[in-house]
């Protein structure tokens, strides 16, 4: 993840701009919960994939939920600590993560509503200094061999202070739950309902590979699809009522949250206009260009968001409607319209409900 001002996953925007109607025709607009603000935390992977889970709950008719992002953030910090210790400090440790980390966390630890646990710093998290404090503690633990049997207690004490102590059980609509029973009995959550997707040429298509990204600390595997398959899967899933977690590079001038659009502009002057034209000419995307930008480290997994709809411009260009986690900002109140060329070149990975995959695609990747 690149740490750059007002763009990287680790920084949420707080300012609010006036909303305006966009010049796009809605093809499909799927249900999503309200826009959140990740504040001074690098947990966009958490906000984006929690939003995906919340949309799936609505799609399945199970109700609208506001789930606690900080409960999951705390639990993944524990998983990161165990990984860092067992790898003797030679592993990625930071705030960042990927969508599959949220899926794994709910499977291992369960989930809780926001009203049950919102975190020590309130609705908008403030994790400044947390990563350094946690890593310094772990580096101290590693200096003494054999390791102290209770090293995790001191680590959890930092999490309790900075993020908060979640309850072991809680009441929800007249019944008592643990986080695990809430996820199982209320959310009906099953980690097997989700698949990780990407598209790169340095691994065989229709097979699984471990994505080479610093924030893939858990070595999650991804199904590798040809680029056109990945783009068409995304369009078809959105049209069919599903939403998708989107991991992308946003640290370029073409990603303009404040103006409401991300496009692969051909003319550099177009991106400087105060109001962007969705029908402005874009560069042609290709598998080769996508791979080149990934391998020369131009494309990195900066930020994770939530694809919730599909729109179209007057000239017929497709745009993905994306829910961000930087608060209610920009002309589209926290959303941004992402063109197909931008999506094709800058996508790093996706988390997709398995039910959104066609029977033919499932067969190709070995899910049938």
Question: What integer pLDDT is reported at residue 22 of this predicted model?
Answer: 61
Does residue 107 have a pLDDT over 50? yes
Q: Are 155 and 134 in contact (CB under 8 A)?
A: yes
Alpha-helical (H) ranges within 34-150 are 44-59, 69-86, 99-109, 130-141
**Exposed (0-12), middle (13-18) or buried (19+): which is 70, by Cβ within 10 Å?**
buried
Write down the pTM of the prediction. Answer: 0.94
Among residues 298, 357, 293, 325, the alpha carbon closest in space to that of 102 is found at 325
Residues 357, 358, 359, 361, CA torsion sign: negative
Question: What integer pLDDT is reported at residue 6 of this predicted model?
Answer: 38
Helix or strand holding residue 211 (H, E): none
Does residue 33 have a pLDDT over 90? yes
What is the tally of helices (H) and strands (E) in the chain? Answer: 10, 13
The mean per-residue pLDDT over the stretch 26-55 comes to 98
Does residue 29 have a pLDDT over 70? yes
Please state, in angstroms and rounded to a whole number, the distance separating the CA atoms of residues 136 and 251: 28
The mean per-residue pLDDT over the stretch 280-304 comes to 97
Question: What integer pLDDT is reported at residue 23 of this predicted model?
Answer: 86
Please state, in angstroms and rounded to a whole number, the distance separating the CA atoms of residues 301 and 31: 26
Q: Are 144 and 215 in contact (CB under 8 A)?
A: no
Question: What integer pLDDT is reported at residue 8 of this predicted model?
Answer: 47
Which pLDDT band holds residue 320 (cuts at 50, 70, 90)? very high
Which pLDDT band holds residue 368 (cuts at 50, 70, 90)? confident
Among residues 57, 40, 155, 147, the alpha carbon closest in space to that of 111 is found at 57
With a pLDDT cut of 90, the percent of the chain lying above it is 93
172 three-state secondary structure: strand
334 three-state secondary structure: coil
The fold of 25-365 is Cathepsin B; Chain A (3.90.70)
Q: What pLDDT digit, counting tens, does each position of 72-104 carry?
A: 999 999 999 999 999 999 999 999 999 999 999
Q: What pLDDT digit, counting tens, does each position of 232-247 carry?
A: 999 999 999 999 999 9
Point out which residues pair with 310 in neighbouring strands.
28, 320
Among residues 255, 221, 198, 223, the alpha carbon closest in space to that of 104 is found at 221
């Amino acid at each position: 993840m690149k740490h750059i001002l007002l763009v990287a996953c680790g920084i949420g925007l707080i300012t609010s701009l006036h909303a305006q109607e966009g010049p796009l025709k809605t093809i499909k607009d799927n249900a999503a919960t309200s826009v959140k603000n990740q504040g001074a935390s690098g947990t966009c992977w958490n906000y984006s994939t929690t939003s995906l889970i919340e949309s799936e709950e609505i799609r399945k008719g199970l109700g609208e939920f506001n789930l606690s992002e900080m409960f999951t953030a705390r639990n993944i910090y524990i998983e990161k600590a165990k990984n860092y210790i067992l790898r003797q400090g030679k592993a990625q440790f930071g705030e960042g993560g990927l969508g599959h980390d949220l899926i794994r966390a709910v499977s291992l630890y369960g989930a809780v509503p926001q009203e049950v646990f919102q975190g020590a710093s309130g609705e908008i998290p403030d994790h400044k200094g947390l990563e350094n404090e946690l890593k310094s503690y772990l580096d101290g633990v590693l200096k003494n061999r054999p390791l102290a049997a209770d090293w995790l207690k001191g680590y959890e004490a930092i999490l309790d202070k900075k993020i908060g102590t979640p309850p072991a059980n809680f009441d929800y609509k007249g019944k008592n739950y643990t986080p695990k029973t809430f996820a199982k009995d209320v959310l009906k959550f099953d980690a097997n309902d989700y698949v990780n997707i990407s598209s790169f040429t340095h691994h065989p298509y229709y097979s699984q590979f471990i994505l080479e990204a610093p924030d893939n600390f858990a070595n999650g595997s991804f199904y590798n699809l040809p680029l056109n398959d990945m783009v068409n899967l995304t369009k078809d899933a959105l049209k069919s009522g599903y939403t998708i977690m989107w991991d992308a590079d946003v640290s370029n001038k073409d990603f303009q949250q404040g103006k409401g659009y991300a496009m692969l502009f051909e003319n550099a002057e177009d991106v400087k206009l105060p109001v962007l034209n969705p029908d402005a000419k874009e560069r042609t995307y290709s598998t080769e260009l996508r791979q080149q930008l990934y391998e020369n480290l131009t494309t990195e997994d900066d930020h994770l968001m939530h694809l919730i709809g599909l729109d179209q411009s007057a000239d017929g260009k497709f745009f993905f409607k994306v829910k961000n986690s930087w608060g209610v900002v920009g002309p589209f109140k926290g959303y941004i319209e992402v063109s197909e060329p931008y999506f094709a070149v800058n996508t790093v990975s996706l988390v997709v409900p398995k039910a959104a995959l066609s029977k033919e695609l499932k067969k190709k990747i070995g899910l049938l």
